[in-house]
């Protein structure tokens, strides 16, 4: 489904070049659950942003279902983001003035779905993540775990090819984090491809494949049990 070839990402801080990623070769198959780990500054979030087309590589090729999307224009990339990817962030990124239902309806609005269809789809997704009883609540009226459930429902709105999560349990208590990871695991078992970035080995253990980064390079990549033994 996804193939990166020789992907590098550089940032410029004045005259200083910061090498965030270097020579990344990676394939992700449909239906996988990939955990990405590494020390702070290893390039985890940069890699996730490139996978989700929130950022573009400085060099290299990114093939999505056989098409090199690094050659596409900004408008085309925006359409790909909306159609193929769902994003879950550590800070939830919900609109504070919108209810849970309205937050989930936002990506459906951008996709041009009729209002009735948007509402029915959002209600069904919130029910799927156990939030059917909180449709009209604002984010400030929800716990952290509930906000993350709403964020997951929103990420699923347009039937994404790939669900990308950046430290999805980082702001949650242990029990709430376990609930969120169990939900992501269930979604993966239903066919959704999931890639998460985490610093927590207990969170990474929900995946089936573990990718380790260090200094912008992949230093290990394999089934979770084998990768854990190598650590």
Measured distance CA(34)–CA(82) in Å, rounded = 21
pTM over 0.75: yes
pLDDT tens readout for residues 50-63: 999 999 999 999 99
pLDDT tens readout for residues 199-228: 999 999 999 999 999 999 999 999 986 544
Domains and CATH numbers, the chain: 30-56+73-230 (3.40.50.300)
Measured distance CA(27)–CA(201) in Å, rounded = 22
pLDDT tens readout for residues 80-125: 888 889 999 989 999 999 999 999 999 999 888 999 999 999 999 9
Sheet strands (E) in the chain: 2-13, 16-28, 33-37, 59-64, 67-68, 85-89, 162-166, 193-197, 209-214, 217-223
Q: In what order do the strands lie in the sheet with 67-68?
A: 16-28, 2-13, 59-64, 67-68
Backbone angles phi, psi at 12, to 5 degrees: -110, 125
């Amino acid at each position: 489904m996804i193939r990166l070839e020789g992907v590098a990402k550089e940032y410029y801080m004045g005259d200083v070049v910061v090498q965030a990623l270097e020579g990344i070769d990676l394939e992700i198959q449909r239906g996988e659950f990939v955990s990405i780990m590494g020390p702070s500054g290893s390039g985890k979030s940069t890699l996730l942003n490139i996978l989700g087309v929130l950022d573009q590589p400085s060099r290299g090729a990114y093939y999505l279902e056989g098409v090199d999307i690094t050659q596409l224009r900004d408008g085309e990339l925006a359409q790909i983001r909306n159609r193929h990817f769902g994003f879950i962030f550590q800070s939830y990124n919900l609109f504070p003035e919108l209810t849970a239902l309205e937050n989930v309806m936002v990506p459906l609005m951008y996709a041009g779905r009729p209002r009735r269809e948007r509402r029915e789809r959002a209600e069904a997704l919130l029910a799927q993540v156990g939030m059917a009883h909180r449709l009209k609540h604002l984010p400030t009226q929800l716990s952290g775990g509930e906000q993350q459930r709403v964020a997951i429902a929103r990420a699923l709105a347009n039937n994404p090819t790939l669900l990308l999560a950046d430290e999805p349990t980082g702001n949650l208590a242990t029990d709430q984090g376990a609930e969120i990871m169990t939900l992501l695991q269930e979604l993966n078992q239903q066919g959704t491809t999931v890639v998460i970035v985490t610093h927590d080995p207990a969170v990474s253990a929900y995946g089936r494949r573990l990718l380790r980064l260090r200094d912008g390079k992949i230093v290990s990549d394999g089934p979770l049990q084998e990768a854990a033994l190598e650590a």
